[in-house]
Structure 1
């Protein structure tokens, strides 16, 4: 969850639906201006006992943030607490239980993306060594109960922590116990957005399978390969899911805005403070009819905040967010944007990817979404093909797309080199989670503490 930033025009009241749509319309840009944004989270732990550090303790999360300023990061405060960092490589922010996130800068190619990731990981490793902190690359805490985890001092999280148990049984797990890798990509027009949204939403379960990396809960196997993905099925049905309307005729900016308007609110920010509006109606806010903010009408800043509180598998802001992957190691942080850039930033690849999924029905999408967190690459598409087979086809499409993009590094390599970990996964048919389970039942002999040595950055 990114740190709130004020934007130009945020204070302007919303006068019409055109104002709502303008956020998405401004995202349209020619291909030469398309960029790649990558976000990745990791769990922070004490190297002595694997405990999750609190914000305030000596050598804890606050000290970690402040130590990072030696690399040129500028502190971002909320109510006197440093809760994020801003710099040339984007923003560093905190998830609710102290998961440490880099929201990278918008970059032109994947070589830059992987270099940015490398810089960040080198920085946190240097500071972590001094503070006695390690960083774990998984999709879910493998051994922590909710009550063992700290809470970060961010206003929106307090509201969400109160609201989550009202609307689902696993929302607190989503907030406190999961980590993800995400990719943010651009579109040329409304029509281009629609096509990219449909392709990426249909194939999000494939990304979930390829990156499945959360098979343990509280020290034992949980029966899933991506429990992080399963958690989203019982977090809050009003703001999550596969969104069947995306595949219907007439989908576009306006239909997306209608969906966001239907999402119940969490909050509004006034005077730097978060006002609890959980469950209230954004349309009533636009009309100045919220009892908590009498007479106040929603602004464009409120609209941007509200958009950020919907959590479907793919989310539209002024760009498209791919949200289906578990957290993982350095090479898979580079692989996720490579996967999606290869499919979505080349017209031939985009057409080929759509051809692979355009016959899927809404029932197919729902079944696949339900099965993949458990079955991974052995889940089957509507024609009986396994996701391992689909993965080989789709990765070949992505590889060809990246090759045609012809963004080369100093050695003459295209961006396709970053797909290598995913090709290895589909060739073996084993997700990262299945390799962890093999280690747990094999050489670890049930000692899950060994995961810290093998899966840390």
Structure 2
């Protein structure tokens, strides 16, 4: 989850809120790719989750990254809770999962190099202190009580609030991981089309990257338990945001939606002030109970936008949020999938043609079926396997059209990053299917074997 946002001045009028989003518009030559991924840390001998403090801990990993690899620390109330370097940052999820939020880079070759460098740095440190990291959509064995809560003010507030607004919010905070990609837009119309494709086809990403069939030591009946968790988290700030498909959708409509999402906090001078359930509209009027008489800045607005969790969301870029965390080679497949669909106009038009005629009920049914059945999902006359095949084909054509070479020109484009997805299309198996086959086969029901088999 995000570190505090900075750089926004006073809000002069409500139109500034949509204007903040619109300021993200960039010419196509300036479009970039930002990849984020989370992974669970654990002690190799006990297989227990990492605490924040101690010889084998999240803090120890952060400090070693700082000291050995030149990352600058981010601190809160005297605790190191993140790192920054060269436009990227490392942050902590509420239960201690380690997240890389990558720098905005021009090509998937570059973003994959960044991912690889980060994982090498983390692995070298982890191996020395007897720690492991694993990429899964949900913690396979650990209970809620085993998971630490990281020393971040926003997490303490969220933890209390989540119990009041849904049944699975605290599971999301402590025991899920994702891989995401952040993409740019050139105009309001471009943002609208990309958001409609993002929301429409997010179930395909959920199915292709489904990687969480276990929870609390047993099968959970879902290919993506992470996606299942998000359906019972907080209805005010999650879901498929159906108004995205309404005529007239744009920056102002997104700002209006965000204004009606209850607040979590206001960040001031290193302190998170409790604004749980309060209204940003009241904040604009200087009537926020948490800070009476004070009005928000654009930094407050940016912070508030990070507390909204639909399947895709708009900030000064678009975040694709539907995929489970996963194995090393799939971390680069997720940006390849969405860049291929969205960064070439012909591919974007073809992707929109796939999903533009579905009604809201179909979209929601696909979201649910993707989590339950992966590529075997069927909704009405729609086969998820066939739909995914079409999407990956369109993404491949989009990446070919981009023609961004790598390896000093030896690799002509970025299409090879889709290979893991093409294998899933060929076999019909996503990572969750492979995990279930191992569990029922070689592991003979011993889920502890997942750590040795699937850690980075």
> Under a length normalisation based on structure 1, what TM-score does the superposition of the two structures give?
0.98
How far apart, CA to CA, are the structure 2 residues paired with 1:5 and 1:244? 27
Q: CA 1:207–1:25 in structure 2 vs 1: closer, same or farther (change >3 Å)?
A: same
CA offsets, 1:35-56, max 9 Å, x none?
Answer: 0000000000001111112111
Alignment of 1:157-306 (within 5 A): 157-306=155-304
Contact 1:199/1:354, CA 8 A, preserved across alignment? yes
Partner of 2:31: 34
Contact 1:110/1:338, CA 8 A, preserved across alignment? yes
Residue 59 (structure 1) shift: 2.3
Residue 224 (structure 1) shift: 0.4
1:22 and 2:19 correspond: yes
Q: 1:45 is matched with which residue: 37, 42, 45? A: 42
Bigger drift between 121-130 and 17-26 goes to 17-26
How far apart, CA to CA, are the structure 2 residues paired with 1:139 and 1:352? 29
CA offsets, 1:219-258, max 9 Å, x none?
Answer: 1000000000010000000000001100010100000000
Partner of 1:413: 412
CA offsets, 1:253-277, max 9 Å, x none?
Answer: 0000000001000000122100011
Q: 1:60 is matched with which residue: 57, 60, 82? A: 57
How far apart, CA to CA, are the structure 2 residues paired with 1:128 and 1:89? 24
Partner of 1:140: 138
Partner of 1:311: 309
Q: CA 1:124–1:89 in structure 2 vs 1: closer, same or farther (change >3 Å)?
A: farther
Q: Which runs of 5 or more residues in structure 2 are unaligned?
A: none
How far apart, CA to CA, are the structure 1 residues paired with 2:2 and 2:326? 19
CA offsets, 1:200-232, max 9 Å, x none?
Answer: 110000000000000001110000000000100
Q: CA 1:336–1:385 in structure 2 vs 1: closer, same or farther (change >3 Å)?
A: same
Greater than 6 Å deviation, 4+ residue runs: none
Partner of 2:342: 344
How far apart, CA to CA, are the structure 2 residues paired with 1:339 and 1:271? 40
Query: What secondary structure, in the 3-state scheme, does the structure 1 residue paired with 2:364 have?
Result: helix
How far apart, CA to CA, are the structure 2 residues paired with 1:368 and 1:48? 40
Contact 1:89/1:116, CA 8 A, preserved across alignment? no
Q: 1:156 is matched with which residue: 145, 154, 157? A: 154
Partner of 2:401: 404
Question: CA RMSD for the aligned pairs?
Answer: 0.9
Residue 89 (structure 1) shift: 5.8
Alignment of 1:107-126 (within 5 A): 107-126=105-124
Partner of 1:456: 455
Q: Which runs of 5 or more residues in structure 1 are unaligned?
A: none
How far apart, CA to CA, are the structure 1 residues paired with 2:105 and 2:148? 33
How far apart, CA to CA, are the structure 2 residues paired with 1:178 and 1:190? 32
Query: What secondary structure, in the 3-state scheme, does the structure 2 residue paired with 1:445 have?
Result: coil
Q: CA 1:89–1:126 in structure 2 vs 1: closer, same or farther (change >3 Å)?
A: farther
Q: CA 1:47–1:89 in structure 2 vs 1: closer, same or farther (change >3 Å)?
A: farther
How far apart, CA to CA, are the structure 2 residues paired with 1:338 and 1:320? 15
Residue 413 (structure 1) shift: 3.3
CA offsets, 1:124-162, max 9 Å, x none?
Answer: 000001111100110010000000011110010000001
Contact 1:41/1:180, CA 8 A, preserved across alignment? yes
Residue 19 (structure 1) shift: 1.0
How many residues are treated as equivalent by the alignment? 453
How far apart, CA to CA, are the structure 1 residues paired with 2:83 and 2:454? 25
Q: 2:361 is matched with which residue: 354, 357, 363? A: 363
